[in-house]
Structure 1
Amino acid sequence: MKGSRGLGLVLAAQISCTAAKDFYGRIAHGTIGLGQAQYAPVTCAYACRSSMGSWMLDCGHGDHGDDSHHGDHGGGDSDMSSGHMMSMMPTPECYATNDPFLMSLAWCIKTHCPGDLTISQLEEFWEMNVAGRNEEQPLPKYSYQDALDRITATPTTVYNSSLVLNGTELVSEYFYAMVYGSLEGIEINIALDNQYALVALLTCGISPVLLSLLRFLPLPQSWVSKFYAHVIDPPVFGTRHAVPALFGLGLVPTRGQALFIFYIWAINIILSAVAYRITWPNLWFTSISNEMVEWVANRTGMLSFANLVLALLYSSRNNLLLHVTSWSRNTFILIHRWTAVICILQACLHSALYLQMYDTMGPGMLTTESAYPYWYWGIIATFSLVLILPGSVLPVRQRAYEFFLDWHLLWALLSIIGCFLHIYFRYHWQWGYEIWVAVAFAVWAFDWLLARPLRVARAGFTNRAYTSIIDDDYLKVDIPGVEAMGQAYLYFPTLSWRIWENHPFSAIPMSHPTQHPTPGTPGSQPSDDLETGSVSKPTPRSTTSQTPSTHPHTPAAAGTSFFIRRRNGLTSRLAQHTEPTGVPVLVEASYGSEAMSVVRSPDPRPSLASPNVIFIAGGVGITALLPLLGRSLLAPRGRSRLYWGVRSGALVRAVEKVVGCGVGERVWGEVEVAVAVGERFDVTRVLEDELVGEKGVEGGTTVVVCGPPAMSDEVRLAVAGLARRGVLVRFMEERFSE
């Protein structure tokens, strides 16, 4: 008999574990620890019910369980096989109508639940859980209090798990303690998983807003300038930021970016390592190490979900944070990449730990578990995340941008689908884990399925783009009737079967028809300084003017122009379509600091604190600066200068026509202009002369750069060096990353 009781205890543990991990159950709302309780506050009642889940019941007709699995059990012989006993689980109807079971359960609840639980709480548990956890199941034959009232004598016999229950009996206190500890540990750990995932999500999402508000503190301008020069703007190591480093595989963050990236890593490592509830002895685990493995696997899985939401948010073109922070899209894209790496590592760790745990649980456990749909959809989700990485490294993005976009979209979508099905097939809407995946999908869908189409619709679906060849390197694209600023994404659906393909370009508002450079026209003749490659110094504004004429095939209407450097892919195909009728184009606009953020920092326009602005452009980077050159008539009177280094004289002439000045004129509006054709400015010397030399200006200065990565890095370091010496200067980079 002693042997049979030991066997029964083991089998009860196995069956209770199986029942507690049942894939099916009723739909719940919220998630554990955040609007939903898994067992609390009636954990004691759940422990009683789970402790009795393997008891054999006599439900009539000579069977003790499900009719489809019953057999002759031999009156509870001790040699009954565990497989046969596990096939004899009572049906929900049996649980709901068996008098000994109902009275034994009621007595267990009465003797184990604290007195501060109300009768209504216990009655609610009773009605919902006595028969099981299914959405549709029979109500108990008696209420909780009715079952208690039917107990005529205090039970003294502990149930023998090898026999059929035939009266009011007691649960094993040792077994109950194991079950209670297991349920309590599960709820505490799962609640902490969800709460810590929310902490990671909210702190990493709100911190950029709070940090951006620090710029409004009334601090001396000299302090702010030095703070940015020492803490924010320079690269975290070396001299490269825009120029690829690490064997060309990635970009070095600035010190400010690195501080936030460090915070993301630190908060994830800390939240992955603290506050685990270990309960031992435990019903569900064979050792403390196995228990710890599962809790760590669960925690990293939940944090991976939170980081999936953050990675999608940071990468979104229509990221709400762009509107309410002073951070650039370049910063958010860089942080997106680091967050995505953390998300992928956590997903891999989650999968690897569960794989190791089931592999050590015994023969056949891994094979059995891996046959479930939830398991292989989890593997699909993890591999989809991993496969994003090789197609997203910097060399691929630079040399095969269209491939990168398609690859990225494919595996990102499949990973979201895999995560959702992984949760659905495992829990079937029971514990709210699907909410995390739903939030991630909502972030993605808002950007891709709502905001982007609305921006395209606002510009219209009947626009046409007219392309002019400037020279072997540059194109000019005019889109009449479309208003855009900052950056715009252009779709050319007739140039590729991938109609979703799009590229970002800097937009130039075209307030009047422009003259395209065509051979044989007076406006196309180069000035001497452009052809010789000399540097044109800023001179007083010329009194000459040139009336632009329209391209013979371009409608005489205002709109937007784009200067584009020809590369492989879409821009190369676009250069082959200069037909007078133009090509269909869809315009998704407007993006960039000028179009989005309400708390830009620093501001490229003159202010009382920084009345001076120095613009430094390289090549086609001038297009991003042109909209910034103008200023209000009421703006503080400082000095505005543009230094533009460019390889192509033809590009200079084309831009001059867009600006509306004469060829060779070196004052554009209120901005003094210096152009170097075929050679580079020594930007360090230029900034020294402008800020601390004989030309030294009064008041603060904002330096705005847009050009090749090496130029941007050179200007960044030069500005930081001057600021550390006490010059009132701030750095701003116009660069739009994907």
Structure 2
Amino acid sequence: MRSIAFVLLLPTRPIAAHVVRSGKWCFGSCETVVTYATFNDTSPGSKKARLCEGILRATSLYLCIDEFCAESGRETWLQDANDTCIQRVNATLPPYEIIEQFRPEERSGLKRLSADEAFTWPTLNEVVIPDEEFFERAFTTLDAAYFEYDIHRIYGYVLFYFWAVVVSIGVGSKVVSLIQDLRRQDLHRVTASPDEFNHYRKNYGIPRSLQTLLKRYITVPAAFNSRCSQPFKCCTVPTRIQSLTILAFVVLNIVLCSVGYRLTDGNLYWPTQRDQLLRFVSDRTGIISLINFPLIWLFGMRNNTLIWMTGWDFGTYNNFHRWVARVSTAQAVIHSIGYTIMICERDGLASLMRYLHKTYFWNGELATILMCALIAFSVYGLRRSHYEVFLAVHIVCSVFILVTMYYHVLIFGAWEWNGFVYPCVAVWVFDRLLRGGRILAFNYRVWNTKATATYNPDSHIVSLRVPCNKSWAKPQPGTYYYIYVVDEPLYAHQSHPFTLAYVSTEIERPDLQLPLSSISERPSAHRANSNDSSESDALLQSADSLSKPDSLVFLIRPYDGFTGRLAKRAASHRTSVRVLIEGPYGHTVPLRTFTNILFVVGGTGIVVPLSHMSSLLSETSSVVNLRVVWAVREHAFLASVLRDFRALIDDERIQLEVHVTQDIQVTDDVPANGLKRVKLMPGRPAVHSVVEEMAMESGYDGLAIVACGPAKMADEARKACVAMLGRGVGGVEYFEEKFKW
């Protein structure tokens, strides 16, 4: 018990030495061997006082050092040991010069302390020197212990390097994408000349082939099978590139927790190699688990600087967040079980009960239990069906995990291991400050943001309009905002993300349900006049052309929870809702550089093409062919979109293919007159056929496939995109604009 306590305390005191014949930890080895004996030249009292004030002990210690250790580093070690005594008992060690009275012939006659005698914990009244075998055992014990202590931390830092490489690849990929966009724009500028077009194709053929292979086999496909957006049984499976990254991380953790153990014979603290392995594995898993903590908090934050650096979405880092947390939890469980076994092997449950009264021990056990509970309450089904429960448990458990971990490792000092807890707190505070900053940037009068909610039972859609004339950030296509409803006290802490549908003004569009005749007719728009002014164009002006947008409009499909409560409030009449708006988040996909664009959307996913449409149809856009395949349940929802965006839909570059999946009877709500670019079809769309047709039409021109809607539809679009890449259509790019938790 005393030896184990000693090892726990050793890392808190730096020891420096240069070997003469026995190795790096010579001074500590001498201290270890003399600790086995109790010298009776001091009055029985504080053990710490006896260790510092005893003459016999100090003389034995100094003689051991003089015989086995080099002089280099000795003064530093003695000064550190002396400072420790002053700090603990306000006493100093006897001077090192006390051993000068022992001449060489006198030293040879001193008692040699063997390991066998030392293990009896003798009480001595004379100076002793350890025999060489005992000293060597002490040295190899400390050398192995300190080697493991250092290698545990080093292996933990390897994980930081791993993620640094991953992020670097992401940054490099973002730079390459920007270069590709510039090249694509250059390509469009020379397409008028066939010779120049072929020259570009020849120059970019080889790298494009490599990119096609990467997209076909690595970056675009689902991990296996064809499920990516759809849950796989009780969980979700990320894309193949994300899955490979996560797999590499998991394998790396397994390897780092399985190799590099220095097991020795004659170890003073853990006699058998089985005991040594149990201790070292328990230590390493605990240390690496803690080192993973900053990564967990960083990847899970909404305002993650890595998102800005790499351009990857929140869902990507959320997948990383979950898997780092799972690995860290598994390591914490192994750490806790290992130490529990070691404690119970000493004196059974009685020993365990004694340890449960130690602050560091019960805090560690509680932290592990909380981590397991957090993982259990974060499964996909609970996140989706009971988000409020998931959120509450997540916040509470996270806070208590940090608190219990702080007290668990506090015995090693304020910074020794809590240096991995403080960054978690810093990241959390930074994220919350930025959240508050975004809310203030939207409207510095945070108490005065009132949204208008309107529910249409026929279309089963809630239209939420939020005044945004005080916002500092201009709305961008494809971005999303977090919405808090603060006049619901029980749920005011919750925020929910919604993609911006469009920007409108109160005067031009007082309500989602406008009369069918409210939008004036105009000739079919062509590329030359697609920017003619009209009321519908005002609804979807690009961010650059809007100086003071009046309202953000969100189209929300109500389900349970927040959206259900919102629909209930607006069921009878238009209602005012006091909200906080945090955003915008996300980034605008560079669709303007593509010649051909295919949107595959379902339900309220129509907001994605709507938010981009005005920008894509501007004169500066490269878009020639824009096709929207939309699966919608209700004719009423379809009618409102056709009515409000008729002018844009009439553009000759647009083809809108609408699949009505539930209402099989066409109603008068659908304004069919004059909508030449709209095609109404019953049933669900054949996504693969649509993608194939569009890819064949595009040829060597770029084709952007954007999916937003039901998970099955998105997976079908992804699978079809991979199939087209396999057929040599290398200009296909796949984008999924669905927020993923």
| TM band (smaller chain) | 0.7 to 0.9
Alpha-carbon distance between aligned partners in 1 of 2:533 and 2:649, rounded to the nearest angstrom: 11
Instruction: Provide the residue aligned with 1:101 in structure 2.
Output: 57
- Structure 2 residue corresponding to 1:585, chosen from 579, 582, 590: 579
Q: Mapping of 1:502-541 within 5 angstroms?
A: 502-513=495-506, 514-517=508-511, 521-523=515-517
Instruction: Provide the residue aligned with 1:734 in structure 2.
Output: 737
The question of 1:436 aligning with 2:420 is answered yes
Instruction: Provide the residue aligned with 1:621 in structure 2.
Output: 605
Aligned residue for 1:504, secondary structure, equals: strand
Alpha-carbon distance between aligned partners in 2 of 1:574 and 1:276, rounded to the nearest angstrom: 58
Distance 1:182 1:476, change over 3 A: same
Alpha-carbon distance between aligned partners in 2 of 1:136 and 1:684, rounded to the nearest angstrom: 75
Q: Mapping of 1:114-263 within 5 angstroms?
A: 114-115=70-71, 117=72, 121-130=73-82, 132=84, 135-144=87-96, 146-152=97-103, 154-156=106-108, 157-158=110-111, 168-214=127-173, 220-246=207-233, 249-263=234-248
Of all paired residues, the percent bearing the same amino acid is 24
Alpha-carbon distance between aligned partners in 2 of 1:548 and 1:321, rounded to the nearest angstrom: 36
Aligned residue for 2:135, secondary structure, equals: helix
2:581 is matched by which residue type in structure 1?
V
Distance 1:138 1:547, change over 3 A: closer
1:457 is matched by which residue type in structure 2?
L
Instruction: Provide the residue aligned with 1:292 in structure 2.
Output: 277
Q: Deviations over 1:537-563 (max 9, x none)?
A: x9x97999557999xxxxx96131111
Instruction: Provide the residue aligned with 2:451 in structure 1.
Output: 465
Q: Deviations over 1:67-87 (max 9, x none)?
A: 6xxxxxxxxxxxxxxxxxxxx
Instruction: Provide the residue aligned with 1:488 in structure 2.
Output: 481
Q: Mapping of 1:33-432 within 5 angstroms?
A: 43-59=25-41, 63=43, 65-66=44-45, 89=47, 91-92=48-49, 94-115=50-71, 117=72, 121-130=73-82, 132=84, 135-144=87-96, 146-152=97-103, 154-156=106-108, 157-158=110-111, 168-214=127-173, 220-246=207-233, 249-363=234-348, 364-424=350-410, 426-429=411-414, 432=416
Is the CA contact (8 Å cut-off) linking 1:423 and 1:433 kept in structure 2? yes
Is the CA contact (8 Å cut-off) linking 2:355 and 2:362 kept in structure 1? no
Alpha-carbon distance between aligned partners in 1 of 2:619 and 2:512, rounded to the nearest angstrom: 36
What is the Cα deviation at residue 152 of structure 1? Answer: 4.8
Q: Which has the higher helix share?
A: 2
Distance 1:164 1:392, change over 3 A: closer
1:245 is matched by which residue type in structure 2?
F
Is the CA contact (8 Å cut-off) linking 1:420 and 1:434 kept in structure 2? yes
Alpha-carbon distance between aligned partners in 2 of 1:391 and 1:332, rounded to the nearest angstrom: 19
What is the Cα deviation at residue 203 of structure 1? Answer: 0.8
Q: Deviations over 1:26-46 (max 9, x none)?
A: 977xxxxxxxx5666662112
1:711 is matched by which residue type in structure 2?
M
The question of 1:474 aligning with 2:461 is answered yes
Is the CA contact (8 Å cut-off) linking 2:502 and 2:611 kept in structure 1? yes
What is the Cα deviation at residue 390 of structure 1? Answer: 2.7
What is the Cα deviation at residue 604 of structure 1? Answer: 3.7
1:349 is matched by which residue type in structure 2?
I
What is the Cα deviation at residue 147 of structure 1? Answer: 3.5
Alpha-carbon distance between aligned partners in 1 of 2:152 and 2:137, rounded to the nearest angstrom: 22
- Which 10-residue stretch deviates more, 254-263 or 640-649? 640-649
Distance 1:705 1:26, change over 3 A: closer
What is the Cα deviation at residue 301 of structure 1? Answer: 1.2
Distance 1:616 1:680, change over 3 A: same
Number of residue pairs matched by the alignment: 648
Alpha-carbon distance between aligned partners in 1 of 2:401 and 2:659, rounded to the nearest angstrom: 49
Alpha-carbon distance between aligned partners in 1 of 2:441 and 2:102, rounded to the nearest angstrom: 74
Q: Deviations over 1:336-386 (max 9, x none)?
A: 222222121111111111112222234443333333222211111111111
1:123 is matched by which residue type in structure 2?
E
Instruction: Provide the residue aligned with 1:5 in structure 2.
Output: none
Is the CA contact (8 Å cut-off) linking 2:482 and 2:497 kept in structure 1? yes
What is the Cα deviation at residue 325 of structure 1? Answer: 1.4
Alpha-carbon distance between aligned partners in 1 of 2:456 and 2:370, rounded to the nearest angstrom: 43
The structure, 1 or 2, with the larger RCO (C-alpha pairs under 8 Å, 6+ apart) is 1
Alpha-carbon distance between aligned partners in 2 of 1:437 and 1:350, rounded to the nearest angstrom: 18
Distance 1:640 1:181, change over 3 A: same
What is the Cα deviation at residue 126 of structure 1? Answer: 1.1
The question of 1:568 aligning with 2:560 is answered yes
What is the Cα deviation at residue 475 of structure 1? Answer: 0.5
Alpha-carbon distance between aligned partners in 1 of 2:427 and 2:532, rounded to the nearest angstrom: 54
Distance 1:20 1:686, change over 3 A: closer
Normalising by the residue count of structure 2, what TM-score does the alignment of the two structures yield?
0.80
Is the CA contact (8 Å cut-off) linking 2:483 and 2:497 kept in structure 1? yes
Aligned residue for 1:681, secondary structure, equals: coil
Distance 1:646 1:593, change over 3 A: same
Distance 1:107 1:712, change over 3 A: same
Alpha-carbon distance between aligned partners in 2 of 1:143 and 1:669, rounded to the nearest angstrom: 96
Is the CA contact (8 Å cut-off) linking 1:604 and 1:702 kept in structure 2? no
- Which 10-residue stretch deviates more, 129-138 or 227-236? 129-138
What is the Cα deviation at residue 674 of structure 1? Answer: 3.6
Alpha-carbon distance between aligned partners in 2 of 1:20 and 1:185, rounded to the nearest angstrom: 12
Alpha-carbon distance between aligned partners in 1 of 2:514 and 2:737, rounded to the nearest angstrom: 36
Alpha-carbon distance between aligned partners in 1 of 2:437 and 2:462, rounded to the nearest angstrom: 28
Distance 1:354 1:653, change over 3 A: same
Instruction: Provide the residue aligned with 2:694 in structure 1.
Output: 690
Is the CA contact (8 Å cut-off) linking 2:315 and 2:740 kept in structure 1? yes
Is the CA contact (8 Å cut-off) linking 1:705 and 1:732 kept in structure 2? yes
1:436 is matched by which residue type in structure 2?
F
Alpha-carbon distance between aligned partners in 2 of 1:658 and 1:445, rounded to the nearest angstrom: 43
What is the Cα deviation at residue 571 of structure 1? Answer: 1.4
What is the Cα deviation at residue 288 of structure 1? Answer: 1.1
2:249 is matched by which residue type in structure 1?
I
Q: Deviations over 1:471-494 (max 9, x none)?
A: 352111111024544111101021
1:734 is matched by which residue type in structure 2?
E
Aligned residue for 1:220, secondary structure, equals: helix
Is the CA contact (8 Å cut-off) linking 1:95 and 1:131 kept in structure 2? no
Aligned residue for 1:183, secondary structure, equals: helix
What is the Cα deviation at residue 683 of structure 1? Answer: 2.1
- Which 10-residue stretch deviates more, 677-686 or 611-620? 677-686
Instruction: Provide the residue aligned with 1:32 in structure 2.
Output: none
1:458 is matched by which residue type in structure 2?
A
Instruction: Provide the residue aligned with 1:77 in structure 2.
Output: none
1:636 is matched by which residue type in structure 2?
S
The question of 1:681 aligning with 2:633 is answered no
Alpha-carbon distance between aligned partners in 1 of 2:381 and 2:604, rounded to the nearest angstrom: 22
Distance 1:221 1:205, change over 3 A: same
Aligned residue for 1:491, secondary structure, equals: strand
